[in-house]
DNA sequence: TTTAGTAAGTGTACAATTTACAATAAGGTA
DNA sequence: TACCTTATTGTAAATTGTACACTTACTAAA
């Protein structure tokens, strides 16, 4: 099974740690073959070429599995990146050449974003170091990966406003304060606690459990679950573009 | 300037005629070179390969211009179609072979949808007949074009719910009943006329004109315009996924 | 065991929006 | 002039949005 050497996927993997939104980045360090000097070092998103007989969704799930060991992760295609010059910055050309690839071949990359609650992650991938970096601390990335990241954030924001995907960034059981925090971080805003809860109380698909937080140095909060089943059954389509 | 022979764009061009949502389709008829017999005839969406140095957005605008002569059309990338078997139905292979193309090369296609008010359209494109077909009357299309069409409709519905793109399907000046009809058709629902107008009256970016319809056999309706400028200035981001 | 610290949980009044519902007005056409 | 067609408009009740502050339940430290 060969590789399709002109299509790739790039995954923006978001992980929420109850405080910040993080993104999984991979170190990219190019060293001179002879002297061993470090020529440059920076970061990339996580991506892969796809196999010839593979769907792009599969390729994206594969990346995700290799990195996190997780299979059932929220993953969504959001945009294609295909600018003719997207791989043509000097460092990027050098890196591709070093890797035995032709930097003049136009590569179309399909952007995906994934959502998960931060957990332990395989800390190596193809011999490169992988780490969580807070979204706001991400500097200049390799290739067009800053553009892909911004596209992912925008897609995440838009989707979050209209569909219940915030839950994907939390563990199965979570508190209302954690849920509120997710939305505040993604939408870059703050909500009134009482009003947020009043709104939330109307959502039939947010199931209160008979369980509480443990081990916290304050009144323990009740735990909730999201039920996609109830959501699908009770959701109404409606019309809200105005405002 | 060569062609990238593995990337293409497919455009779902929606046209509204105040009654129905239509899609621009192109006839595809394969005739036997020797006998002249018609081997099969069906329809495709409108698509194109992209040039090597061209962005995909440019390629999509090019398709649109060739077909409609229009330059400033609402156009949006919505999904990529890349299934390994997407061009492998027997008729499709035959068509590609006849056209001198290799049906075994995997072609990634970027799906776009365009919105416009139905107007005169160039009725020929590369020697093939082009016509508006009401969305609900579209049967089986070539390649994976039914899938692309459904993807486009879904993207159109979603976007319509949250952003003011319904206007793109109307002429510059339109009546409130026409606007209501656009939304009813896209969202496949019906609105109460008084409540619809009450809601609409709150949108500052819907500008009432001192002009009325002419030539209609009933009380002429006032004309309105959409101001994207006012919309951008007054829009608030908010949060409505729950229902 | 007492105290301090921390986040959880809760109600009310007012404003804005949604919803359901039907009669009159203004043009053309016969 | 009568008729046909679509445009235009209001009101009351229910729901939702908004602004705002105190009490509760737990841990940790004294």
Instruction: Looking at the complex, report in whole angstroms how far the Cα of residue B210 sits from the nearest Cα belonging to chain A.
Output: 23
* Distance, Å, A222 CA → D27 C1': 17
Measure the CA–CA gap between B147 and B150, rounded to whole angstroms: 5
B164·A202 Cβ contact <8 A: no
Measure the CA–CA gap between A121 and A69, rounded to whole angstroms: 8
Give exposure, B100-109, as e/b (b: 16+ Cβ within 10 Å): eeebeebbbb
The 3-state DSSP class for residue A50 equals strand
Of the residues B49, B78, B108, B234, the best mutation for testing chain A's interface (the one with the most A CB atoms within 10 Å of its CB) is B108
Residue A108 near chain B (CB below 8 Å) = yes
B241·A77 Cβ contact <8 A: no
Measure the CA–CA gap between B62 and B110, rounded to whole angstroms: 14
Do strands A46-51 and A74-81 pair parallel, antiparallel, or not at all (unpaired)? unpaired
pLDDT in tens, A9-53: 999 999 999 999 999 999 999 999 899 999 999 999 999 899 989
pLDDT in tens, A103-139: 998 999 999 999 999 876 777 788 889 999 999 999 9
pLDDT in tens, A169-216: 999 999 999 999 999 999 999 999 999 999 999 898 999 999 999 999
Q: Which of B15, B11, B64 is closest to B185 using CA atoms?
A: B15
Using an 8 Å Cβ cutoff, are B26 and B44 in contact?
yes
Q: Looking at residue A178, what is its pLDDT? A: 97
Q: Which of B243, B154, B162, B188 is closest to A235 using CA atoms?
A: B243
B238·A161 Cβ contact <8 A: yes
Quote helix, strand, coil % in chain B, to nearest 5: 30, 30, 35
Residue B201 near chain A (CB below 8 Å) = no
Using an 8 Å Cβ cutoff, are A46 and A149 in contact?
no
């Amino acid at each position: 099974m060969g590789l399709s050497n002109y299509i790739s996927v790039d995954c923006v993997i978001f992980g929420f740690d109850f405080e910040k939104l993080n993104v999984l980045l991979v170190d990219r360090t190019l060293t001179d073959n002879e002297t061993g000097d470090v020529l440059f070092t920076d970061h990339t998103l996580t991506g892969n070429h796809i196999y010839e007989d593979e769907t792009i969704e599969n390729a994206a799930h594969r990346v995700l599995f290799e990195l996190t060991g997780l299979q059932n992760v929220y993953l969504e295609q959001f945009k294609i990146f295909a600018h003719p010059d997207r791989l043509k910055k000097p460092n990027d050309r050098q890196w591709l050449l070093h890797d035995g690839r032709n930097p003049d071949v136009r590569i179309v990359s399909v952007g995906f974003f994934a959502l998960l609650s931060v957990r332990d992650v395989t800390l190596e991938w193809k011999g490169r170091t992988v780490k969580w970096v807070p979204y706001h601390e991400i500097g200049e990335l390799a290739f067009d990966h800053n553009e892909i990241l911004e596209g992912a954030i925008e897609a995440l924001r838009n989707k979050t406003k209209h569909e219940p995907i915030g839950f994907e960034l939390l563990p199965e059981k979570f508190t209302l304060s954690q849920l509120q925090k997710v939305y505040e971080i993604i939408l870059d805003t703050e909500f009134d606690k009482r009003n947020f809860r009043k709104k939330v109380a109307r959502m039939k698909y947010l199931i209160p459990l008979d369980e509480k937080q443990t081990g916290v140095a304050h009144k323990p909060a009740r735990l909730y679950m999201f039920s996609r089943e109830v959501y699908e059954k009770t959701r109404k389509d409606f019309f809200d573009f105005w405002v």
